[in-house]
Structure formats: structure tokens, C-alpha cells
Amino acid sequence: MLDFFRNHKRLMMFMLILVIVPGLGFVGIQGFRGFFDESANVASVNGHKITRAEYDDATRQQLDRARQMLGAQFDMKSFDTPERRRQMLDGLIEQRVLADETQRLHLTASDDAVRRVLLNDPVISSLKNADGSIDVDRYKQLLAMQGMTPDQYDERVRYGLAMQQLPASIQASAFTSKTLAQHLTELAEQQREVQGIAFHPRDYAAKVQPTDAQLQAYYDAHRNDFATPATATIQYLVMSPATLSASVQPSDADLKKYYDDNIAHFRTDGEVRASHILISASKDASAADKAKAKQKAEELLAQIKAHPDQFAQIAQANSQDPGSASKGGDLGYFGRGMIAGGQAFDDAVFALKKDEVSGIVQTDFGFHIVKVTDVKPAVTKPFDEVKDQIAKELKTQQASKAFSDASEGFTSIVYEKAKSLQPAADKYKLPLQTATVTPQADPKLPPDSPLNNAKFLAAVFANDAAVQRNNTQAIDVGGNTLIAARVTDYKPAAVPAFDAVKDAVRQKVIAAQSNEAAHKDGVAKLAELEKSKSTSGFSSPLKVSRNDAQGVPPAALSAIYKADAQKLPAYVGVDLGDDGYAIYRVNAVVAGAPVDPQRLAAAQQQVAQVDAQSEAEAYVEALRARSKVKFYGSLDRSNAQSDGGE
């Protein structure tokens, strides 16, 4: 189909004109645009649209997280289902109804709360200078790359904190009684004495002799199990900032300009080391208390002037700052804005020379006497010292810009020069690589390898690439990375002839018949034991609990705890799948050890958290129920039917 479009561009353009122009005559420009507006949205909540772009972005982020977590085990098919798509949309709807309620209640977050979140962000923390202050210029650059200013990012954080207040308040109010927590803990610790009999398929394998007819029948019923997967030998190009960086080389003039423009980044502000004596008097204190505190500070200042070498001893005996008094008032090294005393404190300290003592300095905390014990002047690293660092950083920036500028052209040339990737490789100086791939991800490759991307593999094995031998599209695999491929050799999936896989078929049949025999004997033995109540053939008694299964399979443990504790001994049979069949005799219920207070408190907290989560989900569901939610068509782009509304 794509090949037809390529070879008949004029015809396709003419057909589009024939379709579109008469349509404009019937419905008008605005009406025609309206046909497409609805497809740009997937839902609305109280009139607020949830756009397809938002939905696609949220889906992409979820897939990227799953791909990073699962690595080679990531299977796109398990995520690309109607259920998963609806779950994603439900999540966006719940965010919207929660946002509407937050706005209705006029909830917000304080500047201090926003500041704490920002300072705790590891990315922002990585921008700290040696003195602990944030490199504002680099912070602005980081946000600018995401299309935001610091004020815009502050508001995004504030908005997120405000939205968290309602669920957080519900969760904070959750409570579980100690009695319930103790009962649940005792159930978790309760032991059951059991004995087991196992029927292993391997014990039956030697007795199984399948006939050729049985082998042939199994092969015919399970042909696809023996199929060799399709393979494609490909040439491929990867475009990313990393692959483009080899062709990016900043000039010395670029490096010097970057240094001059960002000189503050290479400057370490001046610092002082100081000690202080604090006589506390809060800003809310009465005038009399403030006067008394100031008088005390003046008396101490007089002592210091008389005995300047005794500053540390006087501070240790009189300072009311608990953090520094025991150290003789020493505050260590600090720069402007790092001490909570504010502008007045900074102005006084940074006006002093080494070993000088200030007068009385008043702040919101009270009255200070400060002595500077050391001074570190501001230092700017010379250009030659940071040249290599700048080159690396500027190269990364220029490579990112080069990728942004070239990605559209790369996509076009891969499509237009459909029979070869060489033109794209030559134009963008990219190495033309080769590989052999199958429709499934290769676990031997790194989890983030572009060759393991599900969308890319689907494009490689599509008819247009595998059979027609056209270039794939430039596939966006996330992380600012595009990949395009051309199939040079393709082998479709094939089912080997029966004789070629006869031994493998035999092993499959033996395993299946052995398992069937083990299961049959196990069921018969269970019926016999339920009548005789015998203990013959069982293993030694074993005490198991929900927290300590003692090697008992999960399915068996579940069956053991479903046995009626009032009707012991009890017998339970468990189908263990490929591991055969097992019978367990439940002899007795054994109470667990007494629950210590610390574990009980932890259990009470855990149960409360579960209950809180349930309450929060119920609250959001209630908000959604009273909101006006409308759906716009299917989440599948290929299906334009409406899903209805709520």
C-alpha cells in the first residue's frame, strides 16, 4: 500500500482534492474542521477536554516505565489491550475530577511546601554548588529544555501538592482497631500441621510408551508449538543525540562564549566562618522582653570587648542557640543566604574582616553578637581549567539541538528514498549497522536496545518492509531516539515436517501422558483416603503458616487453609500443573506465638494504610459519579465508533 502511494503521488493528490473540496462546499470550513475536532479528544469531564495528545503522552510514559522495569520480558501485546487502554483513560478521568474538586474547594499549597519539594528533588539537588546553593542559571536551562520557566514549574508543583491534599487527608484519618489488627496477625501466624503425598510425572515417564499414531495426532494438534519463528536480516540506522555527537565539535570560540555567558556557574561565592552569641527574642515578643534581651546582649558585648580572646567561652556559657552554643558559637563556613538570620545577619557578617566582632545585630530570632574567624574570597575557575567540562556539556547541548533539527529530515529521507538507507546514512553521518531479528524481543540484548522495541519489530515484519523490502518508517522508540531499518533477507515462520521434530514431539507426549497418569492416581488416592482416614504413605508432619510455607507450593498452601478447621483431619488434593498432583492431610491447627507490641503496631498501621487506600478510591469514585463524564469515540484510532457517555 505504501509503495502504491509512493509511485502514484500525483494521482493520490488529485483524489484527495476530489474528496475534500466538495465536502467543504456542503459543510463549510468550520463544519469540516468540526469533524476532526472530536477525534482530537478522548473524553471530557465537566466540560474539560482530555485530549488524545494527553492520553497518548500518558500511555507513552507508562510503556516507558514498564519497558525499563521488565526489560527483555516486556511484551507490548499485554499492554496494548482494550482493558489497559480503558484503565489509562479512567486514571486520567479520576485526575480530572480530583482537580475539579481541588479547585472548587480553593485548595492550594504554601510557598514553603513548594520549596521543600523542590529542594528534595534529586535532579534539582544535583544542581547545587559547592556552597550548597542552587545554580540558578543551570536550573533555568534545565526547565527551558522542557519549555518551562521557574515560575511555571513552581505552579505545577503547587498544583500537584494541592491535588494531593484531599486523598492525603482521607488516608491520614484512616484508623484500624488494635483488636482487628491482632486478629489478622494471629491468622497470618496461625500454623497448620500437615503431611503430604506427591505424585510426580517423572515417576511415570518410564512407563509411558506413546505410539506413532499418538505422536502424529499430538503434532497435528500442536503444530504451531514446533514452528520456527520468522527472522529478518536488516540494515538499520539509529539517530539520537548520542549518535550525532560524533559529528558535533564546538569551536574554541563557542567554548569561550559559553564560559563568558555562564561565568556564574564557574564562580564559587565568598564564604566566611563565624561564631555567634544569640540572646533569644522572637518577633512576637513584648517590647519589655525585647529590651531585656537587648540589654543582656549589650552586657555580653562589653565582656567580649574587654576579653576578645574569650568569645568562645562566653558563647558557650550564654548563647541561647542550642545548635552552636556547645561549640563556642561556631557556625562553620557559609555563604550569603545560608543562615536563617536573613538580610540583616548577612549584611553584618559579610561586612566584617577576619577576627572582627560585630555590634548588636537584631533578627527575627533575637539579638546576635558575631565574630568572623575566617574568610574565603570568591573564586572563579579559569577558562583553561573548565574547558574540557564545557566542551562535554556544550557538545551534549549541540547534539540534542542537532537531533531536534534533523529528526524531521531523517524521517522524510527514510520514507522518500524507500529502497535504501544509504542516503540517510550519508547525509547524517550515521553508521549503517546490521542485525538479525525475530518478531519477539531478544533477551540477550540490553532491555533498552532499540532493536527490542515492539513498535519497531512490528514495522520490520510488516508486509511493506519484509516482503516489499521498503524502508520502515523512522520509529520513535523513546529517549530521543529514532530507528529505521531495511530488510535484506526474510525467512517467514515455518513448521518443520513431523519427522524432523519427532523426538521433540515424543518428549512432549511423554510429559503430557505422565502428568495425566500422576493426576489420575492422585485423584483416586484422595477418594480412598477420604474414606479410610489413613496416614499411610504420607511424609512426616510439617507445620506451615501463611508467612512460612516451608516449601509448600502456593496453590497447595491455599487449599490447606481452605480446609474446615472444625472437621480435622481433612484431606485436600491439589493439581500442581506440570509438577503433577499432591495430597495433603491437615492434622491440626496450631496457634501462632503471641504477637509482640511492635509487630502489632506495624500490622495495625499496614491494615490502616490498606483501608485508607480503599477509602480514597471510594471518594474519587463518588466524585466521578457526580461529575459529567463524556467519551469521544474509541481509544483505538482504527475504530471510530462512539463509546457512549456517563
Say if residues 487 and 438 touch (Cβ distance below 8 Å): no
> Would you say residue 33 lies in a domain?
no
More confident residue, 325 or 400: 325
63 and 128 fall within a common domain? yes
Tallying the residues shown for the chain, one arrives at 646
pLDDT at 145: 67
Q: Please report how many Cα atoms fall inside a 13 Å half-sphere around the Cα of residue 545, on the Cβ side.
A: 13
> Would you say residue 146 lies in a domain?
yes
- For helices 383-416 and 252-261, what crossing angle results, to 10°? 110
- Pure H helices in 474-596: 502-532, 554-562
Q: DSSP states of 398-439 as a string? A: HHHHHHHHHHHHHHHHHHHSTT-SHHHHHHHT---EEEEE-S
Rounded CA-CA distance 179/188 in Å is: 14
Rounded CA-CA distance 521/641 in Å is: 53
pLDDT at 72: 63
71 and 170 fall within a common domain? yes
- Owner of C-alpha cell 546553593: 133
> Would you say residue 572 lies in a domain?
yes
52 and 73 fall within a common domain? yes
Please give the angle made by the CA atoms of 133, 134 and 137, to the nearest 5 degrees.
135
Q: Residue 15: pLDDT band by 50, 70, 90 thresholds?
A: very low
- Owner of C-alpha cell 544542581: 127
Tell me the CATH number at 371: 3.10.50.40
Phi, psi (deg, nearest 5) at residue 147: 75, 30
Rounded CA-CA distance 310/331 in Å is: 17
Mean pLDDT of the chain: 83
Over residues 472-483, the pLDDT tens digits come to: 999 998 888 999
Rounded CA-CA distance 628/13 in Å is: 42
Burial class (CB in 10 A: 0-12, 13-18, 19+), 46: middle
Rounded CA-CA distance 490/460 in Å is: 10
347 and 446 fall within a common domain? no
Rounded CA-CA distance 633/76 in Å is: 23
42 and 172 fall within a common domain? yes
pLDDT at 109 > cutoff 90? no
Over residues 361-381, the pLDDT tens digits come to: 999 889 999 999 999 888 888
pLDDT at 235: 97
Nearest partner of 372 among 410, 413, 330, judged by Cα: 330
Tell me the CATH number at 57: 1.10.4030.10
> Would you say residue 258 lies in a domain?
no
Q: DSSP states of 284-311 as a string? A: TS-HHHHHHHHHHHHHHHHHHHH-GGGH
45 and 163 fall within a common domain? yes
| Ramachandran region, residue 200 (left: φ > 0; alpha: ψ -120 to 50; beta: rest) | beta
Q: Please, what's the b/e burial string for 395-422 (b: 16 or more CB within 10 A of its CB; e: otherwise)?
A: bebbbbebbeebbeebbebbbeebeebe
The mean pLDDT of 154-158, rounded to a whole number, is 84
Q: Residue 29: pLDDT band by 50, 70, 90 thresholds?
A: very low
- pTM for the complete prediction? 0.46
The mean pLDDT of 189-200, rounded to a whole number, is 92
pLDDT at 500 > cutoff 90? yes
72 and 145 fall within a common domain? yes
> Would you say residue 183 lies in a domain?
no
Q: Give the distance from CA 365 to its chain's centroid.
A: 43
Over residues 350-363, the pLDDT tens digits come to: 999 999 999 999 99
619 and 547 fall within a common domain? no
Q: Please report how many Cα atoms fall inside a 13 Å half-sphere around the Cα of residue 340, on the Cβ side.
A: 6
611 and 538 fall within a common domain? no
282 and 337 fall within a common domain? yes
> Would you say residue 186 lies in a domain?
no
44 and 172 fall within a common domain? yes
Between the CA atoms of 289, 292, 294 and 295, what dihedral angle is there, to the nearest 10 degrees? 170
The mean pLDDT of 428-457, rounded to a whole number, is 90
**Residue finishing a domain among 491, 526, 544:** 491
Over residues 564-577, the pLDDT tens digits come to: 988 999 999 999 99
Query: Domain range for residue 487?
Result: 231-250+400-491
Burial class (CB in 10 A: 0-12, 13-18, 19+), 306: exposed
pLDDT at 136: 78
| Ramachandran region, residue 577 (left: φ > 0; alpha: ψ -120 to 50; beta: rest) | left
pLDDT at 258 > cutoff 50? yes
Tell me which H or E stretch contains 198: strand 191-199
- What are the cell numbers at 379? 573564586
Strands (E), 12-81: 41-45, 48-51
122 and 196 fall within a common domain? no
Rounded CA-CA distance 644/246 in Å is: 52
> Would you say residue 184 lies in a domain?
no
Phi, psi (deg, nearest 5) at residue 504: -65, -40
Residue type, 153: Y
pLDDT at 4: 40
> Would you say residue 392 lies in a domain?
no
Contacts of 296-302 with C-beta under 8 Å, sequence gap 24+, read: 296/367, 297/360, 297/366, 297/367, 297/368, 297/369, 298/360, 300/369, 301/357, 301/359, 301/360, 301/369
Q: Residue 40: pLDDT band by 50, 70, 90 thresholds?
A: confident
Q: Please, what's the b/e burial string for 362-386 (b: 16 or more CB within 10 A of its CB; e: otherwise)?
A: bbebbbbbbbbbebeeeeeeebeeb
pLDDT at 315 > cutoff 70? yes
3-17, 126-140, 334-348, 586-600: the lowest-pLDDT one: 3-17
Say if residues 314 and 303 touch (Cβ distance below 8 Å): yes
Q: How many domains does the chain have?
A: 4
Over residues 53-71, the pLDDT tens digits come to: 788 888 877 877 777 777 6
